[in-house]
Amino acid sequence: DPPLRDLATAKGKVIGTAVTGSKLTGTYGDLAGAQFNALTPGNAMKWESVEPSRGTYNWAEADQIVAFAQAHNQQVRGHTLVWHSQNPGWLANGTWTPAQLSTLLQDHITTEVTRYKGKLATWDVVNEPFNEDGTYRSTLWSDNLGTDYIAQALTWARAADPTAKLYINDYNVEGVNAKSTALYNLVKSLKERGIPIDGVGLQAHLILGQYPSTLRQNIQRFADLGVDVAITELDIRMQLPATEAKSTQQAADYKAVVDACVAVTRCVGVTVWGFTDSDSWIPDVFEGYGAATPYTENFTPKPAYHAIAQSL
Ligand code: XIL
């Protein structure tokens, strides 16, 4: 197959991968540069990574990934500005008034978005704001600032970089369900209020054989609202050990996801959450599961890789 990025570019789509900066050398670096036209820092731009102690910034890994992307003519998806997880200890364990938290959040967004102004295609501004039933998740932000922290975060991000596309990103919002409908209603109301919102990210951390059959319909309803859609964190985990039958099923599932995105003009593309099993979060978090990415840990392309190439 030709490189995935050439196939995607010919279709006007993004094919991205999450990456770890320290690994961008050798075969990992060669494949990340040759196969993908977009990168997402897997952890490097999260608040705990960039401001580990208050007022002390560490941009090294984020800068490195942005430089690698520029050298390889790749887009960068910034990930992520406002989240309930991976916040620095000083922030998460501090005692703050709502006014202080609001200022901290505004400063964080302004500092980080300004640093990469004009260099990033996209920001996942708000990550994972919803519960499964479509209510708002209780977080440091929603508990103290109310749910309008979302509108404020988007507004601050736009002010700092008017050219980056601003997204809300969540998981289990791939099919039509209570959670994706809550996201739909939020985007609709933000648009009605004139709050800057350019797209929704469907993470797509899927389980083998559980492709959501309403994915295309769901992408289409967001497109019809007037926003872009991206598949932002695709992986398809299986119970280990991997077998040939499971790998075949996984290829079919990957193909179905990419097909659904290709079918809708406003679906800008697909990013995998790690392109190799050696750089996947799955075994650390889902006990007994793994083999979720398109390449083995030895960088051999799997049937899933060829399925993506077929769809693009
Ligand atoms: C994961 C990273 O891949 C891991 O390395 C880290 O330990 C935890 O976070 N949803 C997201 C991503 O939006 O930021 C998460 O990334 C995976 C789930």
Q: Which atom of ligand 1 is nearest to the CA of 205?
A: 18
Q: Which of 250, 256, 259, 253 is nearest to 289 (CA)?
A: 250
Distance 276 CA to ligand 1 centre (A): 15
Tell me what pLDDT residue 83 has.
98
- Number of other residues whose CB lies within 10 A of the CB of residue 292: 26
Complex confidence, ipTM: 0.99
- Is 287 a known active-site residue? no
Using CB atoms within 10 Å of the CB of residue 221, give its burial: 0 to 12 exposed, 13 to 18 middle, 19+ buried. Answer: middle
Give 228-271 pLDDT, tens digit per residue: 999 999 999 999 999 999 999 999 999 999 999 999 999 999 99
Structure tokens at 138: 């209780």
Give 211-220 pLDDT, tens digit per residue: 999 999 999 9
Give 96-135 pLDDT, tens digit per residue: 999 999 999 999 999 999 999 999 999 999 999 999 999 9
Domains of the chain as residue ranges with CATH: 4-311 (3.20.20.80)
The three-class DSSP label of residue 137 is coil
Residue type present at position 78 = G
Residue with tokens 């990456």: 19
Give the torsion sign (CA, 40, 42, 46, 52).
Answer: negative
Tell me what pLDDT residue 71 has.
98
Residue 1: is its pLDDT beyond 90?
no
pTM of the model: 0.98
Average pLDDT over all residues of the chain: 98
Distance 231 CA to ligand 1 centre (A): 15
Give 38-86 pLDDT, tens digit per residue: 999 999 999 999 999 999 999 999 999 999 999 999 999 999 999 999 9
Q: Which atom of ligand 1 is nearest to the CA of 169?
A: 13
Give the torsion sign (CA, 109, 105, 234, 257).
Answer: negative
